[in-house]
């Protein structure tokens, strides 16, 4: 299977690409993008197919922006944003010029309260985090417009479970930020003796006041990184 990933990530995950589920997943995702493109090109003559997010070139962008050798922090999300113009391949992130969605605004509020750094709400592009070693990993790497979890049972969950397992097995001294029950379940097997596992409520407006605000994950992550001789993240 020819998967376009940076060499280190590709080597770490090599076993997954030859498994039957990954071939089925690849076929499904390609068919979804193809159907959407055909409809977009000729909407009057081709059956409707919803847009797929993120753009196909950004499906594996979380790995492209975060070098495995520099990995310090893993943030686990769920689905890519399924509204137009939002998903960019990094969980919780949007491109420059896109208004940050509510969960991301709450993340910025917690950072400001935690470490005292004013956070602009104008720039929700988290490339700056990824380039410092933060893997912003959605559990599903693609989704249909307006249909949450529409690709989650097609193999992505198996793949991203394998990603978390491989990191846990091969890296130590990593900070895992698990926000909400879904992420916490996905990270249940992480070795807490060799890594720092931080758990809190999801930053969604529906739950942020139930334990996300005040969690101090960003300062705690940096304190841990510094204690292990690593450079802290500029959040």
Quick: pLDDT tens for 36-58: 999 999 999 999 999 999 999 99
| Rounded Cα–Cα distance for residues 213 and 231 (Å) | 25
Alpha carbon of 148 to those of 40, 111, 143, 151: distances in Å? 21, 27, 7, 8
Q: In the prediction, which pLDDT does 116 show?
A: 87
Contact residues for 133 (Cβ-Cβ < 8 A; gap 6+): 66, 67, 70, 71, 72, 73, 233
Q: Dump pLDDT digits (tens) for 146-156.
A: 999 999 999 99
Tokens 């992420």, located at residue: 183
Q: Which residues contact 144 (CB under 8 A, 6 or more apart)?
A: 32, 50, 51, 52, 53, 82, 150, 151
223: helix, strand or coil? helix
Q: 105: which residues sit within 8 A by CB, 6+ positions away? A: 121
Residues 6+ apart with CB under 8 A from 66: 130, 131, 133, 134, 135, 136
Spatial separation of the C-alpha atoms in residues 204 and 59, rounded to whole Å: 23
Q: Specify whether 191 is catalytic.
A: no
pTM value? 0.96
Predicted confidence at residue 1, as pLDDT, reads: 46
Would you state the structure tokens that stand for residue 127, as one six-digit string? 């490339």
User: Which residues on neighbouring strands pair with residue 76, listed in sequence order?
Assistant: 137, 178
Looking at the chain, list the stretches that DSSP marks H as alpha helix, in order from N- to C-terminal side. 7-12, 14-17, 20-41, 61-65, 102-115, 127-130, 156-170, 181-186, 217-227
Catalytic residue, chosen from 79, 95, 127, 191, is 79
pLDDT score recorded for residue 157: 97
CATH architecture of 7-227: 3-Layer(aba) Sandwich (3.40)
pLDDT one digit per residue (tens) for the chain, 235 residues = 457 899 999 999 999 999 999 999 999 999 999 999 999 999 999 999 999 999 999 999 999 999 999 999 999 999 999 999 999 999 999 999 999 999 999 999 999 999 987 766 568 999 999 999 999 999 999 999 999 999 999 999 999 999 999 999 999 999 999 999 999 999 999 999 999 999 999 999 999 999 999 999 999 999 999 999 999 999 9
Residue boundaries of the structural domains of the chain: 7-227
Q: What is the pLDDT of residue 3?
A: 74
């Amino acid at each position: 299977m020819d998967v376009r990933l940076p060499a280190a990530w590709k080597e770490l995950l090599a076993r997954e690409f030859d498994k039957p589920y990954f071939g089925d997943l690849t076929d499904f995702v390609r068919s979804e993008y193809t159907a959407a493109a055909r409809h977009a090109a000729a909407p009057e003559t081709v059956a409707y197919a919803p847009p797929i997010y993120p753009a196909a070139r950004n499906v594996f962008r979380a790995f492209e922006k975060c070098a495995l050798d520099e990995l310090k922090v893993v943030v686990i999300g769920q689905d890519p944003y399924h509204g137009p113009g939002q998903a960019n391949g990094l969980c919780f992130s949007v491109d420059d010029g896109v208004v940050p969605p509510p969960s991301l605004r709450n993340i910025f509020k917690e950072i400001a309260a935690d470490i005292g750094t004013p956070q602009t709400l104008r720039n929700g592009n988290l490339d700056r985090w990824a380039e410092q070693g933060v893997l912003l990993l959605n559990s599903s790497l693609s989704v249909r417009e307006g249909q949450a979890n529409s690709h989650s049972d097609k193999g992505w969950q198996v793949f991203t479970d394998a990603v978390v397992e491989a990191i846990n097995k091969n890296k130590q001294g990593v900070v895992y930020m698990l926000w909400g029950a879904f992420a916490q379940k996905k990270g249940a097997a992480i070795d807490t003796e060799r890594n720092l596992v931080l758990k809190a409520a999801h930053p969604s407006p529906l739950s942020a006041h139930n334990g996300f605000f005040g969690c101090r994950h960003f300062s705690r992550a940096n304190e841990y990184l510094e204690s292990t001789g690593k450079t802290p993240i500029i959040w």
